[in-house]
Amino acid sequence: MPSLFVVEVHAVFGVLIVLTGLGYFYTWRRTRQKTTSNPDFKRFQYIYLIGYLLAFFADWLQGPYLYRLYEHYGFVPVSLSVKRCCVCSV
């Protein structure tokens, strides 16, 4: 049987997922009529998305090397995982 902490964490994440879904649906309904059909803006969005995904992928690739670098300086792997989660969530 899972501990009470595990049940509470799952409950909190479940509530957050439902609230996020409701917020997305509410926002989507209100902005659906306001979408633009300007081809220059659509092109800008596409170019921005490509650049964003490339930067995100590059950050993802450097993760293992950062772990090795921090381990070289004496950090414990568990503290590195917590640090990485905190940095990525901001």
Residue 83 reports pLDDT greater than 80: no
| pLDDT band at 1; cut points 50, 70, 90 | low
Q: Are 71 and 77 contacting, i.e. CB atoms less than 8 angstroms apart? A: yes
What is the structure's pLDDT at 70? Answer: 79
CA distance 4 to 81: 24
Instruction: Supply the pLDDT for residue 53.
Output: 94
Report the alpha-carbon distance of residue 86 to residue 81 in Å, rounded.
9
Contacts of 70 (CB under 8 A, 6+ apart): 80
SS3 state of residue 2: coil
Residue 12: what pLDDT?
92
Segment 2-20, tens digit of pLDDT:
688 888 888 999 999 999 9
Contact partners, residue 8, CB within 8 Å, separation at least 6: none
